[in-house]
A and B are shown apart, each in its own frame.
Chain A
Amino acid sequence: MTTLALQRQPSLAWLGTLTRSREFSVFLALAILVAATVAVNPRFIGAQSTKDLLLNSSILVILGVGQAIVIVTKNVDLSVGSVLGLTAFATGKIFIAMPDLPVIAMLAIGVGIGTLLGAVNGALIAVAKVPSLVVTLGTLYIFRGVDFAWAQGQQISPSNLPETFLALGSGALMGLPYLALIALAVVIAFGLYLRNFRSGREFYAVGSDVLAARLYGIGVGRKIFTAFAISGALAGLAGVIYAAKYGNLDATAGQGLELNVVAAAVVGGVAIAGGVGTVYGAAIGAILLTTITSALPVLGVSPFWQRAMIGALILASIALDRYLALRTERRLRGHDKHAG
């Protein structure tokens, strides 16, 4: 009978799953926020401001994807803001030394630097078996310190950077900014990888139950190392993009960003307890946080509320996750009773 019902109404079942997903509720929150803001000021959804919104959220989206993968393994990467800052400054320095470097090579170098820094995190966490929170809190300050020591108060301005590179930050293809396209490509690539590849699914296995994953034969340490390398690589990519977008670079680039990145992932339904969540959710979370920033002034709320609201959103999201987990647990227990 159940099979029959499923065969008869496949579209409805699909709809039910969609509306119950965490991604959908975050998307709904985003839609309500946009609708409310548009009601106050219709120009909020105009072509230019939509483009600005996409442009502004692309960096947070890319970082959010990396953070989502790390949090899925039940870890956290607090060093992403510092990795971004160091890579952004390195981008400027490299262009001053080699102005004729092709943009694509710079993107590759940025990813390389980021991967290296992420590997430092990953090695400390996976090999020495210490909590990622403490390690990345430490490297947050170490990487930033390296950045400051290297910069020595120096500032890089757009005139130091090649035109073709700056065009990456401001240009668009058929109305869509390049940066948004890169972010979209990152989201889709990692979304497909995590969902459809065995090695992608293994991240969830590690985060759900380390012991079970180990018994199953998954190299847990290597998996966690990879997650941090990916997070570092994406932070490196975001650093190059930051350089292309802003052009003005000093050692403070991306300072304090880690909080927004963790918030984006958590708000997007990536459970901090590990094993649950998608990069799509993290991406929508990142767009939601960016939209709040630009919606607050339109709604007449002081921008000083921004950080407090991000904090409140984090708390609301983890509370919601806890509630959903408890409900699922209860439902599973109920089924057990019927079966036994």
Chain B
Amino acid sequence: MLVDTARPTVEREAVPRFGFLRNWDTAIIVAVVISILVASTAVTGFASPRNAGFLLIDMIPILLLALPMTLIILTGEIDLSVASIAGFISCTFGALWNAGLPLEAIIPVCILLGAISGAVNGILVSVVGLPSLAVTIGTLALYRGLAFVVLGDQAVTSFPRAITTALQAKIGSTGIPVWIIPVVILAIVFGIVLHFTGFGRSLFAIGYSEEAARFAGITVARTKFWLFIVSGAVAALVGIWWTLRYGSARGDNATGLELSVIAAVLLGGVSIFGGKGNLPGVIAGVVLLAILRNALQLASVPEDTLSMLTGGLLIAAVVAPNAITWSRSLSRKPPSP
């Protein structure tokens, strides 16, 4: 909703920005390479297999959440509730574990519950027709609240060590965590769906012009509904991952994670107005943020500086495209083709 009016329709149509976005992707990938090179030489301990393993493992939740978030932002919507769903599922996981259920039963229940949580967002956005920003600010509070309703201020930590260490298993001596493989496969699936199927193209169409998409026969409401369900299910996976990785189910698990996810997606060149962006760019954005955080943590930069950095990158990612368009329109009156 906010997005809709803030959209400077006239300027956007006048200045073709596809070329610029291609440059943006290249810029982000170059930034990833440069930050790896700089960190490897300047930060001691960065370029070790051990650290690479940590970096990749810490990247998993944000990478997972960024996949559905990319699709949702491409359609011009947003999902601020993902971290709260992850926290809610984490607590549910802990409560079910305390109740003595086996993992094979808990995990499907948790994923289903995550999908239902996403469906609530989806119904409110696509059936009732409410702005996703307002809806997911509401469910951000609601699901975080439910997390505390489920477990209170207690934590469940009685998970067997075997499971928590299995999550950190590495492939031989490479330092690459085993669990990055299914995540990469999932990312490839999302990439194929987004860039090589009609469904994926319909997302761009919806984000570019919802009305035009509707005239083209795209079922806009149903498409958005499914995206929120997928987002909820993936958030549930993150909740399960978080619980087992840190061996603790708590109400405040994954708090504030939505900021990093949205920052990574926008940094990856997805337009907050919808309709423009691609998954390789987003993955580069996720990797860039992860490398910066990891390198600065190794250089013992305090946590609050890191969150300032994330906030700053978020603003830079939305301000930069407009600032560049603006400066171009200043330098030459008729917009260049």
A75 and B323 contact, CB distance less than 8 A: no
B104 at the A interface (CB under 8 A): no
Q: Give the distance in Å from the alpha carbon of A310 to the alpha carbon of B140 in the complex.
A: 10
Stretch among A8-16, A56-64, A238-246, A313-321 lining the B interface: A313-321
Docked-complex contact A274 and B5, CB < 8 angstroms = yes
Find chain B residues with CB under 8 A from A138 CB.
263, 311-312, 314-315
Query: Which residues of chain B come closer than 8 Å to A272, judged between CB atoms?
Result: 1, 131, 133-134
Knowing A137-B311, A139-B311 touch, does A314 contact B141 (C-beta < 8 A)? yes
Q: Does B137 sit within 8 A of A, measured CB to CB? A: yes
B134-A134 in contact (CB<8A): no
Residue of B nearest to A303 (CB): B148
- Please report the C-alpha to C-alpha distance between residue A309 and residue B142 in the assembled complex, in whole angstroms: 7
A141 at the interface (CB under 8 A from B): yes
A38 at the binding interface (Cβ < 8 Å): no
B304 within 8 A of partner (CB): yes
Interface segment, one of B13-21, B122-130, B160-168, B217-225:
B122-130
Question: Are A310 and B322 in touch, CB under 8 angstroms?
Answer: no
A307 & B148 in contact (Cβ 8 Å cutoff): yes
Asked whether any CB of chain B lies closer than 8 Å to the CB of A146, the reply is yes
Max chain A Cβ within 10 angstroms of own Cβ: one of B137, B145, B308: B137
Is the beta-carbon distance between A148 and B304 smaller than 8 angstroms? yes
* Minimal beta-carbon separation of A321 from chain B (angstroms): 9
- Of B153, B263, B272, B315, the residue contacting A124 (CB under 8 A) is B315
Residue in B137, B148, B152, B322 whose beta carbon sits within 8 Å of that of A128 in the complex: B322
CB nearest neighbor in B for A308: B145
Interface size of B by Cβ–Cβ distance < 8 Å? 51
Checking B134, B305, B322 against A318 with a beta-carbon cut-off of 8 angstroms, the contacting residue is B134
Which residues on A sit within 8 Å (CB–CB) of B144?
Answer: 307-308, 311
- Among A130, A266, A319: residue with most chain B CB under 10 A: A130
Chain A residues within 8 Å of B262, by CB = 134, 137
In Å, the complex CA distance between A148 and B148 comes to: 26
Which of B135, B273, B319 is within 8 Å of A315, CB to CB? B135
Which residues of chain B come closer than 8 Å to A135, judged between CB atoms?
A: 315, 318-319
Of all chain B residues, which has the CB nearest A82?
A: B311
In the assembled complex, which residues on chain A have CB atoms less than 8 Å from the CB atom of B129?
Answer: 322
Provide the bound-state CA to CA distance between A319 and B134, in Å: 10
Q: Say yes or no for B146: interface residue by CB 8 A criterion.
A: yes
Q: A144 at interface (Cβ–Cβ under 8 A)?
A: yes
Least CB separation from B120: chain A residue: A315
Selected contact of A144 from candidates B1, B8, B263, B304, CB within 8 Å: B304
Q: Within the complex, what minimum Cβ distance (angstroms) separates A307 from chain B?
A: 3
**Cα A129 to Cα B321 with chains together (Å):** 10
Interface presence of B6 (CB below 8 A):
yes
- CB <8 Å contact, B149 and A308: yes
Q: Are B130 and A76 in touch, CB under 8 angstroms?
A: no
Known: A138-B263, A307-B144. 7 other contacts (CB 8 A): A129-B8, A134-B272, A134-B314, A138-B314, A304-B152, A308-B141, A311-B140
15 contacts between A and B (CB under 8 A): A76-B2, A129-B8, A129-B11, A131-B2, A133-B133, A135-B315, A138-B263, A138-B311, A144-B307, A145-B304, A272-B133, A274-B1, A304-B145, A310-B145, A314-B138
Measured CB to CB, the residues of A under 8 A from B are: 74-76, 124-125, 128-135, 137-142, 144-146, 148-149, 210, 251, 259, 262-263, 266, 272-274, 302, 304-312, 314-315, 318-319, 322
